Each structure stands twice: as structure tokens, then as C-alpha cells.
Structure 1
Amino acid sequence: MSNDKKSLSAFSLMMISVAAVLSVRNFPSMATYGWSSIGWYVLGTILFLLPMTLVSAELATGWNKGGGVYSWVREAFGEKAGFIAVFCEWSNNLVWFPTVLSFIAGTIAYIFSPDLANNGLFMFITMMAVFWLSTIVSLLGSDITSRINNIGVVLGSLVPSVLLAILGIAYALSDRHVVLPVFSLDATLPGIHLTTVPFVASVILMFAGMEMSGFHAMDVKNPHRDYPRAMFGAAVIVFLMSVFGTLAMSAVIPVKELNLTAGLMQAFESFLKSFGMSWATPLVAILVALGGFALLTTWLIGPILGLNVTAHSGDMPPFTRKLNKRGVPVFMLVFQGIIATMLSLLYVVLPSVNQAYWILSAITVLLLSITYMLLFAAAIILRIRQPDVPRAFRIPGGMVGMWIVAGLGFLSTAFAFIVGLLPPAGMALFPPSAGFHSTVASFLSGFMHKKIVSEVTAEMVAALPTAAYIAIMLFGTAVLALPPLLILKFRKQSWIEK
């Protein structure tokens, strides 16, 4: 890229990064932590947010060939790893779509009746209407989607975040009742134990997307000076808006009453009602829904374009790379729509909307973790194997700096993958019945003493829900992460573009 195109200032890049990461829909899952959400955000910023921005900047300015994650991981580990990385980046969206759709549907419910947010049938119908409308819009090309995104990011993310923070501060300074306990420094520390640690995956999901800023690193006038400044500024803004928004939600909504899909509107409704402005709740709902629609429309097509690079490399059948007149991969767009529709049925099948939301969010984090672990590892390998490749931005500190930054990112992402396999407190997908307990006890009674049978049976029954949950998470992740291995195994020579 020529120097005359390097027109982005540090401030512009900072705003791009904020828009890529900050999403008000993620606040409810962190609001369950109260004051300790501050500690989780600090850990997430240090261990993941900053490493991801710095690593992606070096990779983007050193291997700016198009394809993003696919090109970077392929350069370090070969074609299979690159395909898996970009496939996980795409397939995680298949699981992510129902969660963002549920957020939009839960928000739309507040335009009519908040109770509809807990109605599975209403949620599914609304989700499908929004999803296929956004798919149709995506078929119209990038010009239309970019315009919607520019408006939606401001109206649907930045404005609601600022408004929520202002309402929260005004509410706290008044004599109104605050659900949060009295502040103390100890309360900000994250409570790490088996029943709560799975929610750390929400921090990773919250900060996912910061690597997108790396694609703009070559457009900055002075990457060595401006990029770190922009990233630091973006991290501060994302951190502060996330903390204030989350705490504002925690101040008015008790944890037991918090709805993961409609928690944002729950908070707005409580704030506006307390200030005698209930009439504004539907207006805010429209604003937030518009922002969610813009976010969805943007991400519907983005990962597909990345996957399309692999199709042009001959890793996928020719029909998957065919474009319409506006340059949109029609087959892949419709194909992902069908899969996302099937996954959205979980909101009808599962007894709890919160349960469906959490399961899909957890699988999303597992798939993202695979992509990010490959990305962090690729940065280290490329610094070792190709140290002389020109990079407009380098992580400072030589190899030591690279190992610290990318190493922290890799370990934190690996940790998020592990804890993402564990069910959160209170979630039992298959609570064992009394009949099951007695059946297991009868089976074991012929081999053990009755007292031992009772103890062993109790332990087995208690462990069953966790084991079943982990099995579901692993199976779902494997189904969405490993198809590239099968595709490459049966790849034909005719797939290679001539």
C-alpha cells in the first residue's frame, strides 16, 4: 500500500477498534458478577484484549495478502491449519447468530410486551424474520451493508452504552434503591471457583473481534507510534464503557431476575420508569434493535468472504465460490442461513431461553478459542522462522516480548476453552430422576456393600449432568471445527481455480 493512502489517524483507528469490539448485548452475562465484573474485565484486557490487538497488528502488516486469519495461520502451519482457523471463524458465527438474534428479539419484545422475551415461539419467529431480512440485505452488496453498519454502530452500540452509563450514575446518586452491595476493593476481585469460572468465557466473547483492527494497521500514518496509542485508547474506552454499562445493569436488576437475552432492556426499563420516562422504553428498544440488526448484517457476510479465499485456493468445491452480480457468495450465504435456522430451534426445544443462550454462547467461545490459539501460535512461529519479513509494526521487546504477549494470549485463550466446557452454576441439562438413582443403585448392589453403593451412586448421579454437558460441548465443537479435514481429504484436482 502506498504512502498516500495512509490516511488513518490514531483517533480514527481507535474508533474502528471500539466499533469492532464494544457490544451492549454482552453486558447481561457479565452483570451477574456485580462488582467482581471489574476484576474480570481487567484480566480480560490484560490477558486477551491487548495481546490480540498487538499480535494481529504485526501479522497484518507483515502478511497483508488478503484472507486474514487463513493467510496468517497457513503461512505458519500449512494449509490444513489455515483452513481450520478460518473455518472456525466462520462456523462460530453459525452458533453466534442465534445469540445475537435472541438479543434482537428480546429487545423487540420490549416494544410490545416484556413478557414476550420469555416466550420461545415469539423469540423464534422474530429471530427468523430478522435473520432472513438481514440475509436479503446482505445479498444487495457491501455498499448497502456498510451504510447500515455505520449508522447502527453509533446508534445501537455507542449511544446506548453512554445512555446506560449516564442513567446508572444518576440512579446511584439519587436516593433510589440500588441492588448492588456497598462497594469494597475486595468485591472487585473475581471469585474463581468451579461454579462461577465458566463465565470467564464471556470475557473472551466480549472482546472477540479486536483482531479486525489489524487489517487497518497499514492505513495508519505512523504504525509504530499511532497503532499502540490507538489500541491503548480503544482498550480504555471498551473497558470503561463495559464496566459502567455492566454495573449500571447490576444496580437495578437482581441476578436471579436477569434475562441474558433481554437484560439490557430490563435495565433501561427500570431506569426510565424510576425517572418517570417509561414512554421512552419502546424508543430505546427500537434504537438497540437497529444496532443489533446492523451488527448482524455486517457479520453475516464478513466471515464468508474470508472463507471464500479458501474456495479460490481450491480447498472447497467451485460452486461455493460463485458470486452474484454484486460480488456476494450466494450459496454460502443461504447455506449458513439454513444451519443458523436449525440452531435457532434450540430456543423452542430447550425449556429456558437463558439455557439456550448460554449453550450457544459457550460453543461460540470454544470455536473462537481454536482460531485464536492458532493465531497466537502463528505469530510466535513466524517471528522465529521468518524474522526478516518486513513488518510495519512489531511487538516490542524482540522474541522475549513476542513470547510474553503471544504467550499470554495463547494461555488465556486455552484457559477459556477449558472452562468453556464446564456448565455454569445452576444449569442442569439432564437432572437425574429418583428412578435413575434407584436403577444405578440396584445395578451396583450385587457388587458392593449397600453403604458403598449409596455413596458411589450419589457421586455418579451428581457428576452425570456435568459429564453430559461437557460431552455436548465437545461434540458440538468437533462438528463445527473438523469438517475442513474431511473436505481436504476428498478434495478434487478440478476444484483448483484455473
Structure 2
Amino acid sequence: MHVTGTVPPPAPDPQETPAAPAPDTTRHARRFGLPVATALVMGNIIGGGIFLLPASVAPFGTISLLAFGVLTVGAIALALVFGRLAARDPRTGGPYVYAREAFGDFAGFLAAWAYWITTWVSNAALAVAAVGYLDVLIPVNDHRWTACLAALVIQWLPALANFAGSRYVGAVQLVSTVLKFAPLLLVAVGGLFFFDADNLGPFNASGSSGIGAVSAAAAILLFSYLGVESAAVSAGEVKDPRRTVGRATVIGTAGAALVYLLGTLSVFGTVAHDRLIASAAPFSDAVNAMFGGAWGGWAVALAALVSMTGCLNGWTLLSAQTPYAAAKDGLFPAAFARKRRGVPTVGVGVTVVLASLLTVYNYTSGSAKVFEVLVLVTTFTATVPYLLATAAQLFHLVSGQGEKVDRARLARDGVIAAVAAAFSLWLVAGAGYAAVYQGVLFLFAGVLVYAVMAARRRRAEGPAGP
């Protein structure tokens, strides 16, 4: 029985089950295999932030690596939860599907609404940040309208790949992931050969207690793992999703964590601590220290630009998948349920337009303060689907629904779900009071949208029986 008492969700759409053929069998639509699904997860987790991450945590000392390890455990636990939930229900929508199936329409809508806000605001933020790296290669920041145009182009190119079909989305994601990991692995692995322990600096440079330093470093690192849900959200476009989604999620999350840890460690060991704290391009400094010369800045800027473009490609697809799933259930406008060449094109179009408007507003306002507040809000809204999905897993485990499992497996899944829940709550705490406050206002605005959609759905169904 559903907690909310709403109409139980319909049976899974035959087009969304693994045994059914793909909704669109044209040459432009193609379901993702394990390599592309893994690239989607890794590419969406690792954007451009990694190129500044070592300098961001350097003031805390090498204790920040411990914070990385703790967060990695939480992120992998969340990845395992998504894998288990996708095996139970492999439909497109991810957290939306899991929350609605467990708790009813309202919880499902909140998951979809919060996730949708996260995606299009984050896309605008990624595009604006990418302009900074593009400026190293081509001067575009000399005038704000030139920078604005560049940001819009960076957003619309991945959108065009999505409009072309899921086949092209997968190809762009795979190629961009390979291209951006080449320089990252060069530093992450190559830096170990140039490692000098004297560069590490103090273990705890913050002056606070060990627990305080770990928590402070974690607050900066927490959002580095957003995107673990990528394969689950696109489960309907994945081959054999019951098996592939879980594997891709865990492999992609573990791979991203390995790159984060090795990359940060290598930069710590190749760039002197006092210089790293003040560095604006830590990976560039690491490359220059390893090989000499001054070409590191250009190389890292190019890698960051590729990284962000690939990240935008994946997030643009995800921004349309959750509204697509909600629209099929009557909780989002019906137009969002239209698919062409394996991609919900209306969702892609609406998302890129909203992100573009926010980008233009950022450049015309003359101040990035409002824009930065909105970006911080997404760090809260992203955790709402995580918490609801984790709660759905706990609900299934405690209620005993689904396939029967032995006690050992039940205990293991319970521990994993508890760790994932703690990780999700830690994400909320790390967002800060202001972001949580603003994020709740965004959620309450969604309640009004839900009221309208629920009323329209009730009217379409006709009067209830006696």
C-alpha cells in the first residue's frame, strides 16, 4: 500500500522493460551498452571542477585525502543502492520511478521536480564556467556579450547532439570521456613518478581538530560525486538494464573516485604546498613541474573544455529523462513524454532554453551573485532525489517486498542503504543553511505545479466511483 494513498502507479510500460524492443528502432536511436553507460556515469560525475579541486582542499593539508576516502565509501554505497533499485524497476526516470513506486505520486513528483531544477541550473553553471577555460584558448571574455554567446554555443552543441538521437549522444559521451581522461590520467599516474614527499606539507594544515578538518574538507568535496544516478535515470535507453545499470553505476563511480584520488595525490606531490594553496590552475602547475615549459595551462584548459562539453552532453540527456518519465504518468505536461530518435526532444528543448535564459541573465545582470545562489541551491535540490531513492530502498527492505533474499544479503543491503542515507544527509548538511532555505522555496513552488497537474489528471479520469 502506498503511504500517500494515491492511485498506485501503472504497470511498467512494455517499451521500457529490458525484454521489449527499443521505442525507436531507427538508425539514429541506439540503446547504451556497458561502456557507454559507464562513460555516462563517469562523464557526469567528473566535470571541470576536478581541475581546481587540489587547490581547493590544499589549505586543509593531506588530511583532505582522508575526507576523499570517506566520501568515496558513501558514493559507492549510493551507487550500489541505485543498482539494486534499477534491478527491481529498470524504467527510465531513476529516483523518480523509485520514489513514486514506493511512496506514491507526490513523492515521485518531488523527486522529478527537484532533479529537473538541478539539471538545467547546473547546465547553465557548467557553460559559464567553461567559458573561463575557453578564454585561455580563444579570448572571449574581453566583452560580456562575446562571453555570453560563447556560453550559449557551448550549451547548444550538446543539445544538438541530443536532438540528433541517442546514438549520437552515446558517441559524444564515449569520445569526450576518453579525451578528458587522457590528460587526467597523465597527471594522476605520471605524477607518481615525479612525486616528492617534501611538497605535501603538513597533514592537518587547518589548525582545527582532525574531525573538524575532515568535515571542512568534505564540505568542499561533497558535490564532486553528484551524477552517480546517471545510468539509473536513463535505464530505459540501456541494454539489459537490470544487469547493466548497476554495473555501470558502480564501475563509473569507482573509476571517477580513482581519478579524483590519484589526481589530487599527484598534484599534492608535484607542486609545493605553499604554492598550491595560491594556485589558480593546479593541474597546469603539475604538468609544468613534471615536464617543464609553460604549455600546461593550454593543455589543461583544452582538457577542461572537453570535460565540460562531455558533461553537458550527458546532463542534457538526463535533464529530459526524468520529466519524460513523470509526463508518462501524468505528473508533468504531456509534451515532455514525446520521444524522437530515442531522446525526449521536448524535454531537451525546454531545458536548454531555460538554461540559456539563466545564462543570459547572468551576463546581463552585471553580478554573478544571484547566479551563484541558484547554483548553490542545486546542491540541495540534487540530494532530494537521492534521499527519496534511498528511502525507497529501505522501504522495500523493511517491508519485505520484491524478490526473497537470504538474511545475509538482507543485512548487507540494509547496511549499504544506511550508509547511502547518511551520505545523502551529509550532502544536505554540506549545502549550507542558505542553500537549504532557498531550495525548500523551489520545492514549495513545485507543490503548486503538482496541484495543477494532479487536478488535470483527476478531471481526465472522470468522477470517482461511490
Q: How far apart are the structure 1 equivalents of 2:335 and 2:304?
A: 37
How big is the shift at 1:368? 1.1
Aligned to 1:44: 71
Aligned to 2:28: none
How big is the shift at 1:91? 1.5
**Counterpart contact for 1:21–1:206, Cα < 8 Å:** yes
How big is the shift at 1:96? 0.9
1:162 aligns with 2:185: yes
Aligned to 2:83: 57
Seen in structure 2, the aligned counterparts of structure 1 residues 272 and 256 have a Cα distance that, compared at 3 Å, is: closer
Aligned to 2:123: 97
**Counterpart contact for 2:39–2:174, Cα < 8 Å:** no
2:157 paired residue among 127, 133, 136: 133
**Counterpart contact for 1:84–1:484, Cα < 8 Å:** no
How big is the shift at 1:52? 1.0
2:336 paired residue among 320, 336, 348: 320
Q: How far apart are the structure 2 equivalents of 1:414 and 1:151?
A: 34
Aligned to 2:355: 340
1:390 aligns with 2:410: no
Alignment partner of 1:192: what SS?
A: helix
Give per-residue Cα distances to partners, 1:247-272, cap 9 Å, x unaligned: 4455368566455xxx4xx5326633
**Counterpart contact for 1:301–1:333, Cα < 8 Å:** yes
Seen in structure 2, the aligned counterparts of structure 1 residues 201 and 140 have a Cα distance that, compared at 3 Å, is: farther
The residue type paired with residue 341 of structure 1 is S
**Counterpart contact for 1:92–1:364, Cα < 8 Å:** yes
How big is the shift at 1:189? 8.5
Seen in structure 2, the aligned counterparts of structure 1 residues 360 and 242 have a Cα distance that, compared at 3 Å, is: farther
Give per-residue Cα distances to partners, 1:223-263, cap 9 Å, x unaligned: 9xx968x877655543331023234455368566455xxx4
2:212 paired residue among 160, 179, 192: 192
Q: How far apart are the structure 2 equivalents of 1:183 and 1:171?
A: 20
1:418 paired residue among 403, 416, 429: 429
TM-score by length of 2: 0.75
The residue type paired with residue 56 of structure 2 is T
Q: How far apart are the structure 2 equivalents of 1:233 and 1:317?
A: 35
1:275 aligns with 2:275: no
1:303 paired residue among 319, 323, 329: 319
Aligned CA RMSD, in angstroms, stands at: 4.2
Seen in structure 2, the aligned counterparts of structure 1 residues 276 and 30 have a Cα distance that, compared at 3 Å, is: closer
Aligned to 2:11: none
1:181 aligns with 2:197: no
Aligned to 2:305: 289
TM-score by length of 1: 0.71
Q: Which runs of 5+ in 1 are unaligned?
A: 3-7, 423-467
Give per-residue Cα distances to partners, 1:105-135, cap 9 Å, x unaligned: 122112135xx77986654332112112322
Determine what percentage of the aligned residue pairs are the same residue.
16
**Counterpart contact for 1:95–1:360, Cα < 8 Å:** yes
Aligned to 2:456: 491
The residue type paired with residue 82 of structure 1 is G
1:375 aligns with 2:394: no
For residues 110-259 of structure 1, the aligned pairs below 5 Å read 110-112=136-138, 123-156=147-180, 158-166=181-189, 168-173=191-196, 178=199, 180-182=200-202, 192=212, 200-213=218-231, 215=235, 218=240, 236-249=254-267, 251=271, 254=275, 257-259=278-280
Seen in structure 2, the aligned counterparts of structure 1 residues 333 and 199 have a Cα distance that, compared at 3 Å, is: farther
The residue type paired with residue 408 of structure 1 is V
Seen in structure 2, the aligned counterparts of structure 1 residues 285 and 474 have a Cα distance that, compared at 3 Å, is: same
Q: How far apart are the structure 2 equivalents of 1:127 and 1:331?
A: 21
The residue type paired with residue 318 of structure 1 is A
1:331 aligns with 2:346: yes
The residue type paired with residue 244 of structure 1 is L
How big is the shift at 1:346? 3.2
**Counterpart contact for 2:393–2:417, Cα < 8 Å:** yes
**Counterpart contact for 2:144–2:363, Cα < 8 Å:** yes
Bigger Rg, which one: 1
Seen in structure 2, the aligned counterparts of structure 1 residues 201 and 271 have a Cα distance that, compared at 3 Å, is: same
**Counterpart contact for 1:362–1:420, Cα < 8 Å:** yes
1:81 paired residue among 107, 112, 119: 107
Count, aligned residues = 424
Seen in structure 2, the aligned counterparts of structure 1 residues 43 and 299 have a Cα distance that, compared at 3 Å, is: same
Q: How far apart are the structure 2 equivalents of 1:131 and 1:320?
A: 20
**Counterpart contact for 2:67–2:215, Cα < 8 Å:** no
Give per-residue Cα distances to partners, 1:166-191, cap 9 Å, x unaligned: 454355449xx94x414579999865
